Structure 1
Amino acid sequence: MTEAPAKPVSMFRNADYRRIFTSVGASQIGLQVAYFSISIIAVVVLDLSESQIGVLYAMDQIALVMFGLLVGVWVDRLRDKPIIVVSEILRGVVMLSVPVAWALDALTAWHMFAAMFLLGLTSVFFDIGQASYVPRLIDNRHLASGNSRIQGIRSASDTGGPLAAGPLVSLLTAPVAIVVAVVSFAVSAFSVARIEYREEEPEKPEKPHLGVEIVQGVKFIFGDKTLRGIVLVSAWCNLSIGAFQAMLMVFLIREAGQSSEVAGFVLAGSGVGGVLGAMLVGRISKKAGVGPTAIAALALSGPGMAIVAASGPGWGAAVAFVGQVVFVAAIVVFNVNVISYRQAVTPDDMQGRVGATQRVICWSGLAVGSIVGGFTGDLFSARTALLIAAAMLFAGFLPLLRTPLRKLREIPEEGALAS
């Protein structure tokens, strides 16, 4: 068996890391523009009900729940780079179908449901492939820092995406604005295609068995108390986040009376919060410890969400913006630390399956939360759905106080749980 090539350890001096960094940023801008435009189409163009909008948001996550574990096995059996490139091309094709259907006067709710499902499915391949690729490009000493920078560019894109999407939607209409997302996905695919690091062809089991390989990923997570606690708490918190995301645009446009430009400004608070969280996570974690920082951040996220729900019309958008900043900054700090822990303790040949298992469990919460949030908005109001979601999110940190995460000071050595 040939020896695997050494992982490059530098980051921005490493051209390949810069390329994956660029890919993530471009892809995230594309997603933000796509999601914002889809929201406007659902709320304004097609005038869907709250429950229909909840189902629309859930379609994105249902794709991961249905196929995530299979994708995890495929990612571990194949090289990551081609998976990422092809998934970005397919995302662009799926999104391009929306303005084409609109131009032909054939855009329907069913088309949007299908587009959202396929966007979610292609995103599964991109997300799992990208998460498996990063630990191959940099070693564990730089993993938390590398993840925080990637999260930072995601968050910066989360700022630019909605800020650009609002005026684009007003100027071009929502379906046409989606073309910007298509271009962003193409830039992302091109950046990854230029990566020079040569992956070895993954070793395939002598007698490959899909079920056995899936079970190995599940057992790896649930065999460790810290990973088990993280994934279960994350699933609970994603119930609330799913409801919040599904009803946020409904609340801002229908109940708070904000324009699409102002709604884009509020959503841009996610990007500002993400950049802030990515900037602070390293310093705070170094002083307080990785685990305590993650738990404290999760406790802060719920109140941030509640601030958004408490905002009103007019200048209330500024209050909602601040709430978005607090909510997302806290979630980013939590995510960077727990994802870095998971990547560090997982051997390279299981990164896809373990990452997919966590995503399937967590995104199941998002899917259910989106649907429940939509029906809650139908029965009561979008604001009520947001307030309930905030209370649920705040309660999420409590179970983690009973796990070893509360004492975790540093990211462990590579493959620490492999035995």
Structure 2
Amino acid sequence: MAPSPPVAPSGLLRMRDFRLLLAGAAAGQVGAQVTLVALPLVAVLVLKAPAFEVGLLTAAETAAFLLIGLPAGAWVDRMRKLPLMIRADVVRAAAMASVPLAAVADVLTMAQLYVVALVTGAATVFFDVAHQSYLPQLLPKEQLMAGNGALETVRSSAHVAGPGLGGGLVQLVGAHLAIVADAIGYAVSALFLMAMKRPPEPPPEPVPGASLRSDIAEGLRFVLGHPLLRVIAATTGLGNFFTAMLMATQTVFLVRVLGLEPASVGLMLSASAAGGLLGALTAGALAGRLGQARIIWLSALATGPFALLWPLSGHGAAAALFAAGSGVVSFGAVVYNVAQVSFRQTLCPPRLLGRMNATLRFLVWGTLPLGAVVGGAVAGSFGARAALWVCALGFLLVPIPLLCSPLRRMRDLPAPPDDMDGPGTSDHGSGAEPVTVA
């Protein structure tokens, strides 16, 4: 598939609804990144939880992808996407708001944190599947690479700003009150989505004789029956397993091993995310120069070894090794994601988008709670640094499925059949009303 001419970000930003989608993503992501720092610190500093319980908290945040990931795709395909995203944001805002309320009332427990993590994780499953399925309705297929790049830029920018903000808030008002920022972020995201003026989505037409089981099976057949989607699922699932190990142990490592204060933890994670922002800004250009297929395996192969800097980091200036390793690994992960998500959205028929995205999320995000539990167990038994060594060595294995696949011999990804009922082929024009940016 020859690369499409790049769409200037300024062209996308003239679309009012896409601007609102970006603004909502920014608000929700900043809040979520504050919680990335604050919620584990609530467990570590306020409730004095051991490493294994912190790992379980990380597992609870992502368990929904394993528990309801497959049926969620079938449900999303039967629902209008934008109202579903709004409802998910409202649920997440309410769940997060319960944490500071319980803490102020002095009734907060680890059990409540687990419940909040499970509820927000379930809402995130529906939000993310609907979000990835909605973008091809908003943009024609030749603009999907640019659209995904813009969303990744927003997400990566939030990853840079959010942890530093979260660490500062924890230092200033305490970990439990910092969670308020996440509740506000999800509420603001819902308001931006409600302001979109795109014509209401028609409800998906029911398929005669369809059932939840048959819908799930169709999504599985589509993903597992495509050789490139299979290898993308295997690679991403493996990478997410070791990423979850990192997430489950990094707060314990930074606070209890390196002795960093909450503000320094936030700044450390913000510095780590700078590489992801650079990856989002350059993914389209790299794909155009090197090829969309080639950049998928090159990004994982070239950046994975830098994970070895995590366990090598130490006190004082040596703590910067942790940020440097995370920055390079994040750069590769974001470039990889922009390329492979754009390919998935182009390949899949609109009626299967929810099931395709949910099936892949089940396969690749279902490894997150498993990795978090393993990370917490290793850290609890052998120490956080040992868990980081296992995690870092695991990242060296991530590119292997890609290198053993047909992607290794491709420059660009194959185009879908011309007669496929694919995203961007329906009559939705530019996807939004062009509005001059003020």
TM over 0.5: yes
Q: What per-residue deviation string (whole Å, max 9, x for no partner) do you get for residues 59-102 of structure 1? A: 11111211111211111111100001010011000001101110
Match of 1:41 in 2: 42
Task: Say whether the 8 Å CA contact 1:344–1:411 is kept in structure 2.
Answer: no
2:401 to 377, 399, 404: 399
1:367 to 369, 372, 375: 369
Equivalent residue letter for 1:285: A
- Structure-to-structure mapping, 1:119-268, within 5 angstroms: 119-198=120-199, 199-268=201-270
Task: Say whether the 8 Å CA contact 1:140–1:414 is kept in structure 2.
Answer: no
Q: What per-residue deviation string (whole Å, max 9, x for no partner) do you get for residues 196-245 of structure 1? A: 22223212112330000001111100111000011012111211111011
Task: Say whether the 8 Å CA contact 1:76–1:352 is kept in structure 2.
Answer: yes
Give the C-alpha shift of residue 110 in structure 1: 0.6
Change (3 A) 1:339 1:166: same
Please give the secondary structure, in 2, of the residue aligned with 1:11.
helix
Match of 1:5 in 2: none
Task: Say whether the 8 Å CA contact 2:170–2:178 is kept in structure 1.
Answer: yes
- Structure-to-structure mapping, 1:294-373, within 5 angstroms: 294-373=296-375
Task: Say whether the 8 Å CA contact 1:27–1:184 is kept in structure 2.
Answer: yes
Equivalent residue letter for 2:206: K
Give the C-alpha shift of residue 184 in structure 1: 0.8
Equivalent residue letter for 1:267: L
Q: How many residues align?
A: 411
Equivalent residue letter for 2:237: A
Task: Say whether the 8 Å CA contact 1:59–1:367 is kept in structure 2.
Answer: yes
Equivalent residue letter for 1:273: G
Matches of 1:337 and 1:407 in 2, distance apart? 16
- Structure-to-structure mapping, 1:22-101, within 5 angstroms: 22-101=23-102
Change (3 A) 1:200 1:102: same
Please give the secondary structure, in 2, of the residue aligned with 1:200.
coil
Equivalent residue letter for 1:133: Y
Give the C-alpha shift of residue 178 in structure 1: 0.9
Task: Say whether the 8 Å CA contact 2:310–2:392 is kept in structure 1.
Answer: no
Give the C-alpha shift of residue 142 in structure 1: 1.1
Match of 2:426 in 1: none
Matches of 2:420 and 2:123 in 1, distance apart? 30
Q: What per-residue deviation string (whole Å, max 9, x for no partner) do you get for residues 23-53 of structure 1? A: 1111111111122111101111111111111
Match of 2:13 in 1: 12
Give the C-alpha shift of residue 332 in structure 1: 0.5
Change (3 A) 1:254 1:341: same
Task: Say whether the 8 Å CA contact 1:50–1:247 is kept in structure 2.
Answer: yes
Match of 2:434 in 1: none
Q: State yes or no: 1:115 paired with 2:116.
A: yes
Q: Normalised by the size of structure 2, how large is the TM-score?
A: 0.91
Percent identity, please. Answer: 32
Q: Return 5+ residue gaps in structure 2 as ranges.
A: 1-8, 422-438
Please give the secondary structure, in 1, of the residue aligned with 2:358.
helix
Change (3 A) 1:412 1:204: farther
Task: Say whether the 8 Å CA contact 1:347–1:414 is kept in structure 2.
Answer: no
Matches of 2:98 and 2:51 in 1, distance apart? 24
Give the C-alpha shift of residue 361 in structure 1: 1.1
Q: What per-residue deviation string (whole Å, max 9, x for no partner) do you get for residues 156-193 of structure 1? A: 01111111111101111111111111111111111111
Give the C-alpha shift of residue 290 in structure 1: 1.0
Task: Say whether the 8 Å CA contact 1:265–1:321 is kept in structure 2.
Answer: no
Matches of 1:104 and 1:325 in 2, distance apart? 39
Give the C-alpha shift of residue 364 in structure 1: 1.7
Q: What per-residue deviation string (whole Å, max 9, x for no partner) do you get for residues 115-142 of structure 1? A: 1111111111111111111111111111
Change (3 A) 1:254 1:312: same
Equivalent residue letter for 1:35: L
CA RMSD of aligned residues (A): 1.6
Equivalent residue letter for 2:43: A
Range that drifts further, 210-219 or 376-385? 376-385
Range that drifts further, 195-204 or 403-412? 403-412
Change (3 A) 1:417 1:285: farther
Q: Normalised by the size of structure 1, how large is the TM-score?
A: 0.95
